[in-house]
Each structure stands twice: as C-alpha cells, then as structure tokens.
Chain A
C-alpha cells in the first residue's frame, strides 16, 4: 500500500529556551512552504501539545512528523508512544534539536539562528521524503524449543518449558538419571549435597509428555532465523535427522582440566578437585593429610578462586563428615577473601578446617609430601605436609561444547568463555535476548547458578512464546534486510556483525543471506560494508542519509561544516555542552545518527558532491562502540575518501573522524572548534567543472564500485581482532595496494562518468 508522504513539522517554543533565541515566525515562514503542515507549539512534549499534534496529524493525514525542539535521545520515545495509535511509527518521527544545537550554542542573532535551524529542518524533511516506511511486523514463534548441549542446566530449562505445555526436543548424551548424576562432579565438583534433589528433578523432567529426547546425537547444522530454525542432528548410527524449531536454548558446561606438571600434578596424589571427588566415590574418603590448594591465582585466573575455594570447602565438609581420620587444610593466596558467610565460618571452626593464606609474592613450590610457602606474618618459608594435594581445576570450553557453540553462532571472538556480550544498546532495539545460553560455559559458576540460568532461559522462552501467541511480539523496526536479487552471499556482513543477526538461508545451500530481525541491533555497519548494496537498514537506510546530508550540504555556506554525531558519543556530548552552557562555533551543523559505522562512504562522498566544504564524523571513544566496531569501520571509510581526495588534489583534511566522551562536552567543543577553524582556513572546494566531475566520480566509485567496496569491507576490523586499527599487520603494504586499486578504479570512474549504469551491477 503506497500512500503519499505527508510531512508535519512542529516547532517548539520550549518556554524561554527556544522562543526568544530563535526567530520562530521567520523559521515558520521558511519551513511552511516545504512541509505539508507546520505549526508553532509552546510545548509539544506536554499533554496539551501532544493532543494538538495528534489532531493536526489526523486532520491533515500526516504520516511523517518532525518535531524541532530538544534532544530525541530522551524525548522521541514519548512521541512514538503517543503517535503509535494513529499508525505513525518509529522511523516516521524525527526530532531536530534546536534547543541544544542551535539556540544556546552561540551568541548569534535570532534571525541567524532561524537560518541555521531552517537548514537542519529542511535536511530532515528531505530525509523523510525518501523514507520507505515499512509496516509493523510481528514475530511468530511457535513450534518446539530445542534444548541443546550436555550441560546440566538443560533439565531445568526443559522443566520450565514442559510445565507450560510447550513442546521440547532435548538433545543429551545420556538419559539415565543415575549416570548423569554419577558424572556431574566432572563439571561441578563439591556439590554432592544437591544430588538427591537433582536426581528427582531430572527423572520428573524426562517423563513429560511434551518432551522428545535425542540421545547420543550431535548437532551438525543450523539454518534459519528465530521462529523458523531448521536443525540437523546426526544420530549415533550415522543417520541425519532434521527438525524444525521456533527457538533454541544452549545448555553448555565448561570443562575442567588439570594444570601442567609445574604444579606437581600427577593424577594420583596431586590431583584436581573433580578427580578427588572421583577418588572419593571410588575408594572412599582418603585418610591422612589433605591439602586443597586454591591455585587459580597461579593459573592467572584469580576471578575463579572464590568458586574453587567454595567447592573445596564443601568437599572438605563432606570428607570431614565421612571420616574422622582426615585432616584438611585449604591453602589459598592471601589476595583471596575467604568466601564463607558468618554461619559457615562457625561450622568451619567446629569442623576444624584450617584456611592457610600464603604470600602472593612468593609462589608456593610442590615437593614430594610437602608444599613450601612464605608465611605472611614472619616471612619465613614454611612447609605443609600432605598425603593428597588437591589443585584447582583449569576451566575452559571443551571441543564438543565449542563445536555446538560455533554452529549456533555463539562464538564471535576468542574469549575463554561464551559471555561475549557485544552490543550495548537499549532493550527496545533488540527483539529478543542475544542467546538463550545457560551453564558454566557461559561463565564459570556453581551448580545452583547453572540450574538457575537454565530455569531463567526456560522462563524467558515461555514468555516469548506466550507473547507471540498473543500477537504482541513485535519485530524492531530498524533492522537490516537483504535484497536477495543483489546479494551474492559473499559473507562480509556475517563476518563483521557480532550481534549474530546474519542468518543462514536454507534454500541458498547454507549461505549467509538472511537477517534474523529479532537479533539485529540496527547497528548497520554490515549494511554500509555490503559491496553490492544488497543489505539495507530499513527505516534508516543509506538513501535516507544521503538525502539528508545532501540537502544540508547544498545549503552550506563556504565556511560551514557538516558534523555527523553518533547517538552514543558525539550527540550526547553536544547535548551536554548545552546543559553546561558551553558555546562553540555556530558554523557546525550537527546531524544525529545512530552509529558512525552505518555511514556508507557514498554518504560521505554525497556531502562533498553537494557542496559541503568539510565533514566531521564524531563517534564514541575507541573501543567503546555500542554496536560492532562502528568507529573503527568509519575510520576505514574516511580513509578511502581521503585517498580519493588526494587523487583529485583536494585537501585530505576536509573529512575527519573524531572521538567524543559524552561526559566531557568541553572536549567536544575543542573538537568542533578546531575542525571549523581548519575548514574556514581551507575555504570551499572551488566549483570548477573539473572539480565537480571529480566529486561526481568519487561518489560513483564509493557507491557502485564493487571492487573498491569489497576491498574496503575485507579490511574492516573483525570482532575477533583484538586491537584498534593502529597496529594492523602489513599496514603500509595493504595501504599501498589499496591506494593502487583506488587509482585504477578511479580512472575508470572518470572515463565512465557519463555512463554510471556501467557500474550498477544490480
């Protein structure tokens, strides 16, 4: 259903914050002919103002609303909520911050400020004109939930799901409760007291009529997106079976492994906690002197010392209860706090378990029957006799769990565990939680915590399915979509995105060509990186940004600057500069964007093509991108423009990337002031025919040249790369090759300027 675009612009007086500073009647007379409706309101954000907007929108059949007032970061949600009932949805409402970016930042006259405000609003109108608003989609999640992995947390997850009568498929290596419990100490040592209760729970869970169990099967492939997954299992007899599922829960446990011989490990008398427990269950509680060495500090993982100590203590309590001839000591680094509560300490005293701290500076050394350590109090080397020395286990993810995690797309980077929490965005921007992952593979934890995580994953799934059944589960509006006619399945997007949003399509033979809208965070760096322009961030597309920056750039005076500020760094810094009553160069025209990473090089080129003398991209601090390394990716794109500028004889400094900290607006002021001074000194790009041709070629090349766009995407930082772009391998070599390729392609672009269709592979 195509309807005409009708844009309503509402100018806010904001008491005395905007009205006296900006000549609003003048602004109204500029905007009114360009928009379908325009009105000045005293407070659009309060109930009376909202009611006026609603009635104006209904009377004039408006379907795009621009509110020129204050910061959209805090206020947009209120307008979105208010306008939703009349079908003006997220993406169709835009806010231009007159108060912080125009009214208060300079001492210019109200008339001049009205001019600046008009430029920003007209740019917004231009964007709204090209917006292709999508309809609100609902997510449909039904069908069985697959619970995967050999983690113990799979049972409470299944329990919660089957209690709510949701069909489940459980894939486990073992279904005999006795055997499961028998091997549990290999992942969770020292948890014996919970075993009886757990066994009953596992038995009850497995009896449910809603449960199908796959025993000894391996997950070998996964395609599809949330709500419509197809999983392939390989059974023990080598046969494959595919199942359809609406959701997946991964219950994975970490693997405990022994340290090297430098800790004296021999597997017989010097062993790790899980082996000690095995020893107890096989041969009974050992008699004599048992020393638990909490050796996590020496492994370089002090964060797990508390967990190891707690496990050691509960094992020690069990051993004490079973045998009176066992003497137990827990030997720990002085840096570790004893993880016992007050009442546990009392129990500990009664049981007579000694906690012996040792000096962190001197590493204890293991000898046959003794362990030497430096005493904290007297700095004398003491010796501790042992019959059994029990070390902390080393924790990590095993091959099997790792394979499953990889198939599920849970591994984005090389971290020891699967916590990889990538995106730091508002909850409304993600359709559902990144993964339903439970167990100690997520992060080392004790048995209770693992079971809780399983329960939680189950409950979240039940809630999601209930919501979907009630038709209330909505797909976020600003997510990527793939144009299957343009996509060549090169996989660049999948490598770059670390929200796991790029799914694998069934029909294309397992190639990454679809987006899971429930996982996409709308960062859009993948869309900007697509060599073929096949990936589009819907309701916030590159076309929209081109229109907006194009409109603003056309209106720029020779010394004015377009600044694109990211909503997580530059934009709040600018907003807070107003809060702290700072002033900066009024020639800065700020456009708010969700992330600098989603700015396609074509958008940057468009700014110059339309006449902007300078473009500044203000993003987050390094390593603080809220999406997937947007700031690093923007750096590469800016670099491309700089290289092209050099080829054409333009000053490379006309485009720059900057970092901003929202809590340091005074630094933001320095950033924009210095860039403005630079551009003012450089002056505009002379509008000769040769220059205009060059700018047009640059734009053509950035937008359509698939070779350059592919080279650019390949060079972007991947989530698993550890460092900021500064120390890339073969930096200079790559840069020279890239420059050579650009030179070659630029010559083509120049000669083919009159036939741009040549470059349009689409």
Chain B
C-alpha cells in the first residue's frame, strides 16, 4: 500500500494506480476531457492538472497519467491549478468554439471568453484522439485516426472517405467529449443507404 496525501487528506493507493484514480476513489473530483476508463490514459488535454508539492518546491502534473508514489503531496484546488485550468479552457474555447460541452465546462470554471484568435468558428473537435484510442484498444480496429500535422491536424478516416474497416459500432461517437464525432461519424462509416429522414417522409 502506498500512502500519500491529496488536499492534505491522507489516502492509500495500490500499486499502479494513478493520482486521478486515487482521487476519484476518495470522492475528490478532478475535471477531465480526454480521459475515459475504457482506454489507457494519454494525458492529451491537460485539464486534469494537479499540483505536486514538496516543501517550498512544487510542480504541475497531469493526474490521469501520474503514478502514485509514497509520501507525495497532491493539491487539486490551488490557485496555480485553477489558473492553469482556466488557461487550458480559454485555449480550448478558441480551438473548438462550436462545442457546447466545452463552453459549458469553461463557464463552470468561470471562463466565458477567450483572448486567443478563433481560426474556425465552426470547429468543435479538440483533437484529443480519444476516438482513435477507443477504436484501437476496445474495438480492435483502426478505422479512425488523427491525420496531418501541426495546425492542419484533424480527425478522420484515411483520405477522409468512408472506410470498410469501420464496423459502425459507434464507440467513438459515445465517448467523444466535445460532440465533434457527430459531424465526422458519417464520413467514417459512410452515409446509411436508407437514412431515417427519408423513412419519415
């Protein structure tokens, strides 16, 4: 058993647990976006940042991928943590302004506007890659991937065309934290032969 503290509360954890898992076990909430229990954590969105203090020295770590260690002191609600969360949310507001989930989360943390330039007002994908990870780790396929690099990076199927690899299980759709998959989904699985709207007519 590993003993350490979260917000000065003494907690015990098992070998191989992460800080986030331990905190959740003790009912301490840490906001996350790209974390999903079905897949391995990847630490992509950095929203789960917490402060690790050691005397007068401290650093910020991503709690979803930070393994627990004996005697560490974790703080989840310090000004430094709040500051970095707000920064991240402000950046997310600029990179995926069309996502209602992101706007709601930002508002809950007191972020209502962004100082960064919005390049694409219709963008709602934050490119966390959760859809890709679930497709690979849970479904066992690679129908969806993060393609291109840098500022052109986006989520889609090879050549942005419907792919035979996709079995249309909808896992990506269900786990997407920003709701962006709704728009991408039909390009991956292909339009249904008889869509619902036609049936309604």
Nearest B residue to A662, CB-CB:
B170
For A598-610 the 0/1 string (1 means CB < 8 A from B) is 0000000000000
A47 touches B17 (CB 8 A): yes
Complex interface: chain A residues within 8 A of B179 (CB):
579-580
Tell whether, in the assembled complex, residue B140 and residue A426 are in contact, meaning their CB atoms are under 8 Å apart: yes
Residues of A within 8 Å of B193, CB to CB, are 621-624
A662 in complex: contacting residue of B16, B27, B140, B173, CB < 8 Å: B173
B25 surroundings in chain A (CB, below 8 A)? 42-43, 46, 48-49
A576 within 8 A of B: yes
Residues of B within 8 A of A624 (CB): 168, 192-194
Report the nearest B residue to A660, measured CB to CB. B196
Contact (Cβ within 8 A) A47 B16: yes
In chain A, what residue has the closest Cβ to B12?
A48
The verdict on B8 contacting chain A, using a C-beta distance below 8 Å, is no
Q: Which of B153-201 contact A (CB under 8 A)?
A: 164, 167-171, 173-176, 179, 182, 185-186, 192-196, 199-200
**In this assembly, does B24 line the interface, its C-beta being within 8 Å of a C-beta of chain A?**
yes
Instruction: Determine if A425 and B167 form an interchain contact, defined as CB atoms under 8 angstroms apart.
Output: yes
Closest Cβ–Cβ distance, residue B16 to chain A (whole Å)? 6
Quick check: A48 and B22 within 8 Å, CB to CB? yes
Q: Which residues of A sit under 8 angstroms from B141, Cβ to Cβ?
A: 426-427
CB of B108 within 8 Å of the partner chain: no
Q: Are the CB atoms of A659 and B199 closer together than 8 Å?
A: yes
List residues of A (20-59) whose CB comes within 8 Å of B's CBs.
Answer: 42-43, 45-49, 51
Question: Which of A16, A428, A661, A663 is within 8 Å of B140, CB to CB?
Answer: A428
- Using known A-B contacts A46-B21, A46-B24, determine if residue A73 contacts B167 with beta carbons closer than 8 Å: no
For the complex, give the distance between the alpha carbons of A428 and B175 in Å.
Answer: 20
* A219 → chain B closest CB, angstroms: 29
> Contact at B196–A661, with CB atoms within 8 Å?
yes
Quick check: is B121 within 8 A (CB to CB) of the other chain? no
Instruction: Enumerate chain A residues within 8 angstroms of B138, measured Cβ to Cβ.
Output: 74, 77-78
A241 to chain B, nearest CB (A): 39
B54 part of interface (Cβ distance < 8 Å): no
Taking CB atoms and an 8 Å cut-off, the chain B residues in 13-40 that contact chain A are 13-14, 16-18, 21-22, 24-25, 27, 29, 36-38
Q: Flag B63-95 by CB within 8 Å of A: 1 or 0 each.
A: 000000000000000000000000000000000
B146 at the interface (CB under 8 A from A): no
B14 lies within 8 A of A48 (CB): yes
B139 within 8 A of A: yes
Contact between B21 and A47, CB atoms less than 8 A apart: yes
Indicate which residue in A73, A75, A568, A623 contacts B194 across the interface (CB closer than 8 Å): A623
CA distance in complex: A580, B177 (Å): 11
B137 to A, closest residue via Cβ: A77
- Kindly report which residue of chain B lies nearest to residue A419, judged by CB atoms: B164
Q: Closest CB of chain A to B188's CB: distance in Å?
A: 11
How many residues of chain A get a CB closer than 8 Å to chain B's CBs? 42
A571 → chain B, closest Cβ, in Å?
Answer: 9
Q: How far is the CA of A427 from the CA of B179 in the complex (A)?
A: 26
Return the CB mask of A136-153 against B: 1 if under 8 Å, else 0.
000000000000000000
Given the contacts A46-B24, A48-B17, A71-B174, A426 and B167 also touching, CB distance less than 8 Å: yes
| Residue in B18, B37, B169, B173 whose beta carbon sits within 8 Å of that of A75 in the complex | B37
Whether A572 and B173, one on each chain, are in contact in the complex, defined by CB atoms closer than 8 angstroms, is yes
Binary per-residue interface labels of chain A (650-692) against chain B in the complex, 1 for a CB within 8 Å, 0 otherwise: 0000000001111110010000000000000000000000000
Q: Which B residue sits closest to A100, measured CB to CB?
A: B174
| B170 and A47 within 8 A (CB) | no
Flag whether A15 is at the interface (Cβ < 8 A): yes
**What's the least CB distance linking B84 to chain A, in Å?**
21
A residues 597-647 near B (Cβ < 8 Å) are 621-624, 626
Asked if B48 lies at the interface with its beta carbon under 8 angstroms from chain A, I say: no
B126 close to A (CB within 8 Å):
no
Per-residue contact bits, chain A 721-741, to B (CB 8 Å; 1 contact, 0 not)? 000100000000000000000
Count of chain B residues near A, Cβ 8 A: 40
Whether, in the assembled complex, A546 has its beta carbon less than 8 Å from a beta carbon of chain B, the answer is no
- Does A424 belong to the interface (CB within 8 Å)? yes
**Chain B nearest Cβ from A668, distance in angstroms:** 9
**Closest CB in chain A relative to B162 CB, distance in Å:** 12
Q: Which residues of B contact A42 (CB under 8 A)?
A: 24-25, 27
Say yes or no: is B102 at the interface (Cβ < 8 Å to chain A): no
B174 to A73, Cβ gap below 8 A?
Answer: yes
A421 within 8 A of B: yes
Check A45 against B167 for contact (C-beta < 8 Å): no
Among the listed A51, A426, A664, A724, which residue makes an inter-chain contact with B169, where contact means beta carbons less than 8 Å apart? A426
Tell me if A94 counts as interface (CB < 8 A to partner B): no
Chain B residue nearest in CB terms to A622: B194
- A575 within 8 Å of B (CB atoms): yes
Distance in Å: Cβ of A27 to nearest Cβ of chain B: 19
Q: Report the Cα distance A609→B193, complex, angstroms.
A: 37
User: With A77-B138, A579-B174 known to touch, is A621 a contact of B21 (CB < 8 Å)?
Assistant: no
Q: Which of B16, B27, B169, B196 contacts A659 (CB 8 A)?
A: B196
Q: List B contacts of A74 (CB < 8 A).
A: 36, 38, 134, 138, 171, 174-175
A79 to B171 CA separation, bound complex (whole angstroms): 16
| B residues in contact with A78, CB < 8 Å | 37-38, 138
Q: Can you name the residue of chain A whose Cβ is closest to the Cβ of B192?
A: A621
Question: Closest residue to A426 on the B side, CB-wise?
Answer: B139
| Chain A contacts for B182, CB-based, 8 A | 663
State how many angstroms separate the Cβ of B163 from the closest Cβ of chain A.
12
> By the criterion CB–CB under 8 Å, are A48 and B196 in contact?
no
List, in ascending order, chain A residues with CB within 8 A of B139's CB: 426-427
A626 lies within 8 A of B196 (CB): no
Measured between beta carbons, the chain B residues less than 8 angstroms from A75 are 37-38
Chain B residues, Cβ within 8 Å of A47: 14, 16-18, 21
List of B residues within 8 angstroms of A426 by Cβ:
139-141, 167, 169
Check A621–B27 contact: CB distance below 8 A: no
Residue of B nearest to A670 (CB): B200
Chain B nearest CB, measured from A722 CB (Å): 12
* Binary contact readout B131-144 vs A (1 if CB under 8 angstroms, 0 otherwise): 00010001111000
CB distance from B126 to the nearest CB of A (A): 16
Question: Which chain B residues border A51 with CB–CB below 8 Å?
Answer: 14
Chain A contacts for B174, CB-based, 8 A: 71, 73-74, 572, 575-576, 579
Contact call A73/B169, Cβ cutoff below 8 A: yes
Question: A663–B200 Cα gap in the complex (Å)?
Answer: 16
The answer to whether A568 and B169 have CB atoms under 8 Å apart is yes
Which residues of A are found within 8 Å of B167, using beta-carbon distances?
424-426, 626
Q: Is the CB of B37 within 8 A of A43?
A: yes
State how many angstroms separate the Cβ of A303 from the closest Cβ of chain B: 15
A sample of 11 inter-chain contacts (CB < 8 A) reads A42-B27, A74-B171, A74-B175, A77-B38, A78-B138, A424-B167, A427-B139, A572-B169, A575-B170, A576-B173, A624-B192
Closest 3 CB pairs of A and B: A45-B37, A572-B170, A48-B25
Residues on B facing A (Cβ under 8 Å): 13-14, 16-18, 21-22, 24-25, 27, 29, 36-38, 134, 138-141, 164, 167-171, 173-176, 179, 182, 185-186, 192-196, 199-200
Task: Please give the residue numbers on chain A whose beta carbons come within 8 Å of chain B beta carbons, in ascending order.
Answer: 15-16, 42-43, 45-49, 51, 71, 73-75, 77-78, 421, 424-428, 567-568, 572, 575-576, 579-580, 621-624, 626, 659-664, 667, 724
Given contacts A572-B174, A621-B193, A661-B192, 12 further A-B contacts (CB under 8 A): A45-B37, A46-B37, A48-B17, A73-B169, A74-B138, A75-B37, A78-B37, A426-B141, A426-B167, A622-B193, A660-B196, A663-B185
